[in-house]
Each structure stands twice: as C-alpha cells, then as structure tokens.
Structure 1
Amino acid sequence: MGIKRSSAVVFKPYDQDQISLLPPSLDELIAENHPVRIINKVINEIDTKPINRKYKGGGASSYHPRLLLKVLVYGYLNNVYSSRKLEEQTRVNIHFMWLTGMKTPDHHTINRFRGEKLSGILKEIFSQIVQLLVAEGIVNVKEAVFTDGTKIESAANRYTFVWGKAIKTSKDRIKSQLDALWKYAQGVAAEEMQDSSSSEFESLAPEKVKAAIRKIDEAISDKQDVPKKIKQKLSYAAKNWPQNLERYDEQEKLLAGRNSYSKTDQDATFMRMKEDHMLNGQLKPAYNLQISTQQQFILNYSLHQTSTDYGTLASHIESYQALYNQTPAAIVADAGYGSDQNYGLLEDKGIAAYIKYNTFDKEQKEGIKAFSNDSLHHNEAENYLVCPMGQQMAYIGDRQRVSASGYVQIISCYQARNCHGCPMAGVCHSAKGNRIAEVNHSLRKHKQVVKERLNSEQGIKYRKQRPVDVEPVFAHIKSNHGFKRFLLRGLSKVEVEVGLLSIAHNLRKWTA
C-alpha cells in the first residue's frame, strides 16, 4: 500500500521594492505591432499647419497640437471620450504616456483643443489620413462609395425644446384675439376707428401689434360699459404680446426651417430615435450623421439637422468634392435617398446612381401595380397617356410641387375622355367623373434608368455589398464602441467629435 504525499504549492516571488540598475524604457514595454505605434506614425506624417494657424502665439508655451491630437485619436480608438478620463490616461496608461513623452495635459487643455482648435479644420486632417489609405492601395476615392445615415443623440436636455408648430399656433392665437379686439373697438367706437385698418397687424410685427393695441385702448378708454374682460385682455396684450412676438421671431430664426430645436443645444433637432430592434423609440434632440464608405473605411462624413436622408445628399457630395477635388464614380444607397432631385443631381455631376426608389423592392416581387399611374403608357411624341382599356388620356396642363427642401417638381396632368360605362372603372380609379392621372416625367425616366442599373450584374453586386459595407460601420461606432450620445454641444463642436470618431474608426480598421 503506497503512501500519499502532499506537494506544496510554489508561487513566483515578486518584490515591489526591488531596485533596478536602469529604469525600463516605455518603448521597450510596447509591442512592435501595437496599434499605438500606427497612431503615432500616421499622425507624425500628417500636416498640422491647419491647426497651428489657430494659435495666436505669445504668452506661455502650449502643448504641441500633434501631441494633443494623438491623445484624442488614441482615446477615441479605445472608447475613452471624456476629457477627464483622457487626462487620467496620460498619467496611468503607458501607451498614452509613450505617445505624450510623459507630458500630462489637463482636461481643460484637452477639451479646449477639441472644441476650439479642431473646429472647422479637422476634416482637412481626416482627408490627409484617407489619402494615406489611398497611397497604400486600401481605398480609392475615384470608385463607388456606399452611403447611409444614422441619428446620434445630442448632449442637450431632452425636455427643454421649441417646436415650430407651437410658435405658429401661438402667433395664430394672438392674431385671432387681436382681430376680435379690433372688431369690438370698431363696434363701440366706430368714429375713432374709421381711419384705421386691421391690415396694420396682418404681419404680426411687434411694433405694429403694439401700435394696434394702443389704438384700440385709446378708442375705447372713454366709452361706458366696456366689459372688464376686454380691459383685462387689452392690459395683458399690451404687456405680453409684443415681447412674445419678438421671442417667436428669434426662435423662428433659430429654427431656420426645422420643426424643432433644443433650448440647451440650439443646433440639435428633435428626431425619432430607433431605440431597439422593434424600432420603438421617442423624440430626442439629435443630429443626422451621413457617411460614405468603401471596404468599411469612412471616406466622407457630414452632419445634418434634418431627420430625413434624401435632403442630405447634395451637401454630402459637395463635402466629398471639397475633400478630394473630385466625385466618386458611383453612389450606392438605400431608398431613403431615392428622389427626383437626387437622381437629377447625380446625373448632372456624372455620378452613377445605384439608389433604389421607394417601390423598387415591391416591383421586384410583384411588378408594377396594375392601374397605377406608372403602369400607364406615355406617348412622348404626341404627349398623351393610354389608360388600361386603351383609351387616350389627353394632356390638360402642368402643376408645380415644391418639396421641403425647395426643389420644384413639374407634375403633368392627363384626363381620360370618357370613363362612363367602363367595366374597369371601379378598380381603375375611385374619383367621380373621368380619371385624371398625374405624372412626374422626370422622375419616371430616372426610375427606369435606375431600375435597369440596379438589375445589371454590377448593380446586383453593389446591392449585396451595401448592407455589409456601410451599415456595420455604424454598428461598430454605436454598439461595439458605445458612442451613442455626443459629449459636446453645437454643430461645429459635434462635427469635431464625428471627425475624431471617423479617424479613430479608420485607424482601428487599418491596424487590424
């Protein structure tokens, strides 16, 4: 019978007070292929003159912009977005310590550099990094790009807001009540009001409204039996309406055509956010981020204050052209960008549009819907449509339709000669009388071209590639790296954050 022997556990010794002859170099502690080395190499190669010009000179010495840019880019690459946490990293993280040469800028310096020095010029730095990718043969700014958008919440308060509709309702109420007071004054003081007209306050200019209230008050001041309610209303109107109208005018200027803005970030617009996989959500102050990608690298980004995608394409392309002095060969995007305006814009710029229109997918499965306006044959030479029963529909004129962006569409109208007794009348149209069809011929032609292009071999390839090229970039930024809300406020500062996110994403992918 053997004897069981217990073996002692042996631990490796360590001594926190051990003194080394020479202190270790930080460079020796960082692996040769570590991403921080790529960050350092890339930022050392770019031209920082655009940032340098933001410094006035004189006074105390400043941290080098290259150093601070390295801190920010490496921080955004590692999901460290707060200036306080970045300051902490420069004191405790050997990678940040190596990048800064043991310098420790405080969070005020980091935040001022990010919000002020990089504002308006970071895109130049971004484009330089993209050009380095081009030089490596990783991307090509001349080829097709994949475009999409996402909404990112602003740092603004979610519950302090101004709505365009509320302003209009308030102004309409003031006009209605002022009109009622004016009519009352004309009724009880016709002689005093005979040379006055209510058209004086039609525009609701604060000074004219103030003058109108004064006129009403003077007209009825010496009249007997004026109801107390009228006097109270006039007193309230004189005290509040002019200053309220001045405030509404200022708010409308800030809205600049938008439907809303946040009081704590006036550049942010309230947008419906997709909060979960069921697309449930709520209205929050946010910005619409548009990007164009290739091989999941971001080649262009732009920030917008509108929630819809189709109105962002024109300025997004202008931004691309400003960065690289040329446009891409093609743009591939989903149906959110499909519009007559966008198709025409791309055609004028010589860019092939691989952009679906809103009924493209349904038409692929079911064909063009029977009896729809799109199904009606158009005789271009004689300009008439042919109804489903073969009857000619005569051209009766054009009308204009203006989009929210101000784009004017020409809608041609056609009317059938006699629908009475037609066996198809019930399913062809539901209106009384002869059917009237409205057609946007420009959009119709664009859709036909786009349909053929999307169903070509190249188009099918692009359609398959789009969801796996641009959409994962948003997933990486928002889900994998936790950036779902901006830290700064104001369009120019938020654009800096987007630039840092884009640079960090590209370098992260490059190092991978």
Structure 2
Amino acid sequence: MCNPKITSSNYNTEQATFPLALEEGTGVPLPKKASPTFIPYNNQQGFAIFDIQDLVPANHVARVIDEMVELIDDELFFAHYKGGGRSSFHPKMMTKVILYAYSKKIYSSRGIEETLTEHIPSMWLAAGQQPDHRTINRFRSDHLKAMMDSLFEQMIHQLIEQNYITMEHYFLDGTKIEADANKYSFVWKKATQNFEGKLKVKIAETLQHIHELAAAEGIPLNEQVEEATPEQLEEMAEAMEEQINVFTEAIDLEEDTEKRKQLRSKRSEWKKPVKAIREDFLPRLEKYSQHHEIFGDRNSFSKTDPDATFMRMKDDHMKNGQLKAAYNVQMATENQFILYYSMHQRPTDTRCFLPHLEKLAASSLPMPKTIIADAGYGSEENYLYALGDEKEPRFDFLIPYGMYLKEKSASYKKKIKHAKNWTYLEEEDCFICPNGRRVAFKKYLNKKNASGYEQNLKIYECEDCSDCPLKALCTKAKGNRQVQWNPIYEEMKAKAKAALEDETKTQIYAQRKIDVESVFGHIKGNRSFRRFLLRGLEKVHTEFGIGPQPPESSQHAPATFSVLTNK
C-alpha cells in the first residue's frame, strides 16, 4: 500500500505533454506548460548502511581523535581498573567519545549521551555502543581523573618525538575560569574570624555566669580559663547536667509549692547555659574550625564548591567588578601546543609560578630552557627560583617586573620622588637626593610577603628634610624621607631588564602574545569554555584537560588531548 504522503505522480522523470490549446479569439497556440520534477524521495522506505565508517570523511576530527587515542599504550588505561565483576566499556572508546563531544562544544554528560544516537562520527567511535550519561560522567570524574596526567605526558612526548615542539621556549600565562558554584555562596576568612571572635567573647561571658551560679550553690567547678576548648565546654555541660538532675530529683521530693517554684527557677537558670553550649557554642565552633581547614592560605571559598576561590573576573554577571568563584588556570604553550597546565586556588599569577613549575619538575617532561611570561610573574621569589644555583641555573627567563614599562617612560624619569632617579654613592652607601642632601643607610629590615617569603630590605633616611623646598614633591611623610631598598630584588630586576632589551630575546618575548594568549582565545571564544561543569580541584583539572578543543579549521591545538590535531 502506498504511503498517503507519497504519490508516484510527484516523481515523473519525463515532462508531461498536454493537448494543443488555442488562445481564445486569436487562434494562436498557447505555450506548453512543463510539470515540476524531483529526485525520488521516501523516508519511510527501508535502506541499509553497509559500513558507517564510509560516512566519516577522511580528514574529519573524529579520525584524528581515533588515531591519537590509539597511539596511547593500553596499559595506561587498564592500570586504573581493578578487574573482576561485570565487563566495563572500553576506556579508549569512552575517551574517544568524550573528546569528540568536547570538540563539538558538547560538555554535559547528557549531551554526550545524545551524540551516541544522533552523531554519525560519535556512533562510529563508539562502535554502536551506547553508555548512558551516568556511565559517561562516572568515567570522566573517576577514571580520567586518575589517568589524566600520565596520558597528557605521553602525548607531549609524542609531540617532542615528532618534532612539533622542543620545550625550548615555554610561554606561560594564566586565566580564570568560573567554577560551577552559586554566585552568592561565599565564605570570607575575615568575616569568619570576626564572628569567631564575637562567639568567644560570648562563651567567656557564659562561663563567668556559670561560675557565679555554681558559687551561689556552693558547687565546685574547674578553674575558669580565658579561652575554653570544645572539650572543656563539653565537660562543663556534663557537670551542669548532673546538677540539673539533682534539682529535678529535689523538685520531685519537695511538697512545698513555693520551694518547688524556687527549685524550678534555679534549674531553669542552669538549663540555659547548657542549651547555649550544646545548640550554639559547640556547633558554631565546629563550623568555624571546618572553615579554617578549608581556607588554608586563602581568603575565601564557596559553599557550593569549597575548592573554588572568589576572584575578580573580567566579565562578571553584574558588570560592576564583582567577585566570582573560580579557578586560576596556569598554562604554557609552544607553537600553540599546550606543553603543561595546572589548576590553582590563588587569584594572582605571581604565587602560582613556583607551584606550577614544581609540578612540571615532578613530571616526566623535560624542563624548558627559557620561560617567557608577563609582568604578573615578576617577583624576587620567582626570579631567584629561576636562577637557582649560580653554578647551575634552572632555566633562563624573560619576565619583566611590575614597573618595567613605567621606568622606561619619560614622566617616570622626571619625578624626583623615585629613588632610582637619584645618585647613589657605593663607597659611602648613601643616596644623594635632588636637593643635594645625603640619604644615608640607617638599618636593616626583614619583611615577609603573603606567601611567607622573607625579603631583606635596607632602610635609608635623609639627614634633614625640615626646610627642603622639594619635600612636597618628594614625600608625604611628616619627618625625614626614608627609602626602602631591596638589593637582591634590584639585582634580579637588572638581569631581567638586560635580557628583555637584548634584540634577539625581544623578538622571542613579543611572540608571547601570539602564542599563549591566542590559545586562551580559542578556549574561551571559539570553544565557549568559560565555566566548569564539575566541582573540586581534581575534577576541574580533568575537565580542563579534556575540554577546550580547537575549531576544526584551527592550525594548532589549544587543548591537552587535541595536541595532535594538526598532524
């Protein structure tokens, strides 16, 4: 029986002919009218695909992913499976399916599940198998998390062997990616410390009241301490509960109504502090203790994702510079291939430099010859780490310090308040200020920064600024002008400046913006990867590793597992 929507007359292969017709009143033949013709079509008719692989073009990204994953040794996958039980989906198949979905900007597990029934390349990569979204998410969160670093390192070794990269130039930069956390789930360290301080005052007042009650009844209690621990509060509550039981027994035995009222009143007075200890003091102390463990050296965290830190983002939802829960991604590239990446909870790039490179040194990858980064990494601590031992430096660096560009400007050189513009007498260890007065060495000062690194400063002070006509332009201090001078940092800055002003190295530093920043542009712009879907430091590390794939037309690959897409 024919489908009512399909009629054979729609598919005539020859033009229809009509009887000759004459235009009325003229006798002139009318022009022939041709009927429309179509290619035969019937979506209700069965058809067979003999090999689905033939429908995947030879240069398709799915074939690149397939070839790339097949290069990885099976043992790297199998080592993370215990064995026994029900058969699992093959880890290479799962990896291919996830990588292909991410290359199409499909990041959710349900979206990946959907590709297995709707995308022919995904169906081919899975060989017709259809793991559900829970299986996909579990593999991504658990198995890929365990094998991510080893898989990544093997891919980089493949690139080195095939001469795509040399690890000679290490272009380093960082970006912030929003966490999967509520925007208003923040917990601040200063606020927690403030609340905790007020609670301790309240506890001290309550303990004083308890001792007054005990003294009135002639009951001995432990000696009062300035700051009670949770264990001491628990002991105090138990001792008071014993006395409350004594009051209860006395009430039951007492027959006089007035005395019973008095006993009940006393019992009520004793119950109030116990209730405060049990229901208020101890739970809040426990909560604040947990908060401090989560904080570590951070100033904030999110209740939704405690590993995320609130950072100032360039594109906040309110467009007014608000903070968002995010992670700081440190990433290095060469020829727009990602060489290494690491996730951090610190908002500033300066304090991520050492942890990132220490993780790189602990991996199987070779250390780079030269690290190129922007002024956000230019600190004394970072310079000294790069320098290492004088006999055996770790690596060369092209990293400007914060004031590098300003010091080169004409306006900076004209301002007399900057001690760098003054004359320094090395033999006498003193500066000569613009008014010709001596600014002599006074004392040493040791100062710790936020990361705990100790800086050794020299303090210089002018002999007399009382009648100096230039004082208003030189300092706002009421007394004599003082200068804080860091000899070690100044030496490191001089080395950085000399390297940056070398003609050959200047061209290398100029390449930084093209190399690493364009990769971040691919990740956030072309791949729309601006927010994590998983929670927790280890899980977002995995998600970023498999996540930001390049567009198919991109020459190079700004992603961990897309490092061979330009092959």
TM-score (norm 1): 0.87
| Residue 422 of structure 1, CA deviation | 2.7
1:342-357 superposed matches below 5 A? 342-348=382-388, 349-357=393-401
SS at 1:201's partner residue? Answer: coil
Q: d(CA) in 2 for partners of 1:502 and 1:382? A: 58
Deviations 1:140-191 (A, max 9, x none): 21x1121111111111233333221121001111233345566788999999
Q: d(CA) in 1 for partners of 2:564 and 2:477? A: 60
Does 492-501 or 257-266 show the bigger shift? 257-266
Q: 1:260 to 1:58 in 2, by over 3 A?
A: same
Q: d(CA) in 2 for partners of 1:317 and 1:86? A: 34
SS at 1:415's partner residue? Answer: strand
Partner of 1:363: 407
Q: d(CA) in 1 for partners of 2:337 and 2:320? A: 29
**Is the Cα contact below 8 Å between 1:126 and 1:503 reproduced in 2?**
no
**Is the Cα contact below 8 Å between 2:56 and 2:121 reproduced in 1?**
yes
* 2:355 is the alignment partner of 1:315: yes
**Is the Cα contact below 8 Å between 2:93 and 2:125 reproduced in 1?**
yes
| Residue 490 of structure 1, CA deviation | 1.2
**Is the Cα contact below 8 Å between 2:373 and 2:512 reproduced in 1?**
yes
Q: d(CA) in 1 for partners of 2:353 and 2:531? A: 23
Partner of 1:256: 296
Deviations 1:302-321 (A, max 9, x none): 00011111100111112222
**Is the Cα contact below 8 Å between 1:171 and 1:245 reproduced in 2?**
yes
1:255-404 superposed matches below 5 A? 255-275=295-315, 280-348=320-388, 349-366=393-410, 367-368=412-413, 369-404=415-450
**Of the candidates 523, 526, 546, which is equivalent to residue 477 of structure 1?**
523
Q: d(CA) in 1 for partners of 2:494 and 2:379? A: 13
Point out which structure has higher relative CO (alpha carbons under 8 A, 6+ apart).
1
**Of the candidates 27, 35, 45, which is equivalent to residue 53 of structure 2?**
27
| Residue 70 of structure 1, CA deviation | 0.8
| Residue 264 of structure 1, CA deviation | 2.3
Partner of 1:440: 486
Q: d(CA) in 1 for partners of 2:432 and 2:173? A: 38
SS at 1:300's partner residue? Answer: strand
**Of the candidates 170, 190, 199, which is equivalent to residue 145 of structure 1?**
170
Q: 1:5 to 1:277 in 2, by over 3 A?
A: farther
Q: d(CA) in 2 for partners of 1:133 and 1:8? A: 61
The structure whose Rg is larger is: 2
Partner of 1:9: 36
Q: d(CA) in 1 for partners of 2:51 and 2:282? A: 70
Partner of 1:44: 70
Partner of 2:146: 120
SS at 1:147's partner residue? Answer: strand
| Residue 481 of structure 1, CA deviation | 1.3
| Residue 378 of structure 1, CA deviation | 4.3
Does 90-99 or 301-310 show the bigger shift? 90-99
Letter in 1 for 2:533: L
Q: d(CA) in 1 for partners of 2:211 and 2:130? A: 75
Partner of 2:115: 89
Q: 1:171 to 1:102 in 2, by over 3 A?
A: same
SS at 2:183's partner residue? Answer: coil
Can you give the 5+ residue segments of structure 2 that lack an aligned partner in the other structure? 1-27, 248-261, 551-557
Q: d(CA) in 2 for partners of 1:455 and 1:278? A: 41
Can you give the 5+ residue segments of structure 1 that lack an aligned partner in the other structure? none
Q: 1:476 to 1:238 in 2, by over 3 A?
A: same
Q: d(CA) in 1 for partners of 2:39 and 2:277? A: 85
Q: d(CA) in 2 for partners of 1:383 and 1:215? A: 68
Letter in 2 for 1:424: L
Deviations 1:334-389 (A, max 9, x none): 22212111111111153222222222222232344432233344445553333333
Letter in 2 for 1:151: K
SS at 2:145's partner residue? Answer: coil
Partner of 2:565: 511
| Residue 414 of structure 1, CA deviation | 1.3
Letter in 1 for 2:40: P
Letter in 1 for 2:66: N
What percent of counterpart residues are identical?
36
Partner of 2:230: 206
| Residue 17 of structure 1, CA deviation | 5.2
| Residue 489 of structure 1, CA deviation | 1.1
Q: 1:382 to 1:210 in 2, by over 3 A?
A: farther
Deviations 1:214-249 (A, max 9, x none): 99999xx99xxx9x9999678635641133112211
Q: 1:213 to 1:19 in 2, by over 3 A?
A: closer
SS at 1:470's partner residue? Answer: helix
CA RMSD of aligned residues (A): 3.5
Q: d(CA) in 1 for partners of 2:179 and 2:73? A: 31
* 2:165 is the alignment partner of 1:131: no
Letter in 1 for 2:303: K
TM-score (norm 2): 0.79
Q: d(CA) in 2 for partners of 1:66 and 1:50? A: 10
Partner of 2:532: 486
**Is the Cα contact below 8 Å between 2:210 and 2:273 reproduced in 1?**
no
Deviations 1:102-153 (A, max 9, x none): 2222222211111111113202111222222222322221x11211111111
**Is the Cα contact below 8 Å between 1:201 and 1:208 reproduced in 2?**
no
**Is the Cα contact below 8 Å between 1:40 and 1:99 reproduced in 2?**
yes
Aligned length: 504
Q: 1:92 to 1:109 in 2, by over 3 A?
A: same
**Is the Cα contact below 8 Å between 1:47 and 1:125 reproduced in 2?**
no
| Residue 324 of structure 1, CA deviation | 4.2
Deviations 1:429-483 (A, max 9, x none): 2212322211122111111221222222134323422222212222211221122
**Is the Cα contact below 8 Å between 1:155 and 1:486 reproduced in 2?**
yes
Does 385-394 or 398-407 show the bigger shift? 385-394
